[in-house]
């Protein structure tokens, strides 16, 4: 829920009003527990977002540092690199599982990817968004993990 709350101070170019408002919106959503407020609460919700955005803008504009401003592009590249190192290319593994079938995707899960990392792949019993679907096989960094859950045990009991 708080993905848009990011450091906003000491960047070149400075934080935009849209970035500050997005952070304020996420903060108010978190504190209130509402993703979208009801019609009854909508006016107060919007007022809170505006107030938090105004206070955040004032804070960011008045903070002082001796450090040189960070470049947005360099920081974004660092974040992408950290995410790639942390998560690998799991999305490509999922695409393989859906389109190549179990045996081909299973072989691909054990092969290094372009970055030299082994794939993360999940094989579903059916539609992963259907309540009756479950993970049949899971490969993390090319190693097959044991998959057993309460849902899977209950599913096996069905006729």
Domain spans in the chain, listed from the N-terminal domain onward: 11-82, 88-157
pLDDT at residue 116 is higher than 50 = yes
Backbone angles phi, psi at 61, to 5 degrees: -70, -25
* Cα atoms in the Cβ-side hemisphere of radius 13 Å centred on 34: 15
Please state, rounded to an integer, the average pLDDT across all residues of the chain: 76
User: How far apart are alpha carbons 27 and 29 in whole angstroms?
Assistant: 5
Query: What digits encode the pLDDT tens for the residues 43-97?
Result: 999 999 999 999 999 999 999 999 999 988 888 888 778 777 766 544 444 444 4
Q: At 102, is the pLDDT very low, low, confident or very high (cuts 50, 70, 90)?
A: very low
pLDDT top residue among 54 and 110: 54
- The pTM score is 0.52
4-18, 38-52, 86-100, 101-115: which is most confident: 38-52
Signed CA dihedral, 121, 122, 124, 130: sign only: negative
Alpha helix stretches (DSSP H) within 63-89 = 72-87
CB neighbours of residue 10 within 10 Å:
15
Structure confidence at residue 80 (pLDDT): 76
In this predicted structure, the answer to whether residue 100 has a pLDDT above a threshold of 60 is no
- Of 101, 136, 133, 139, give the one whose Cα is nearest residue 118: 139
Q: What is the DSSP letter of 71?
A: E
């Amino acid at each position: 829920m708080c993905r848009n709350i990011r450091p906003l101070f000491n960047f070149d170019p400075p934080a935009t009003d849209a970035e500050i408002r997005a952070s304020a919106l996420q903060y108010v959503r978190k504190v209130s527990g509402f993703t979208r407020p009801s019609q009854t609460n909508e006016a107060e919700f919007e007022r809170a977002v505006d107030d938090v955005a105004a206070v955040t803008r004032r804070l960011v504009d008045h903070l002082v540092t001796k450090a040189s401003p960070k470049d947005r592009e360099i920081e974004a590249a660092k974040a992408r690199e950290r995410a790639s190192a942390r998560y690998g290319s799991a999305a490509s593994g999922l695409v393989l599982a859906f389109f190549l079938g179990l045996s081909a995707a299973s072989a691909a899960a054990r092969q290094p990817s372009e970055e030299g990392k082994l794939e993360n792949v999940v094989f579903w019993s059916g539609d992963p968004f259907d309540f009756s679907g479950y993970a049949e096989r899971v490969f993390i960094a090319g190693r097959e993990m044991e998959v057993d859950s309460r849902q899977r045990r209950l599913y096996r009991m069905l006729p």
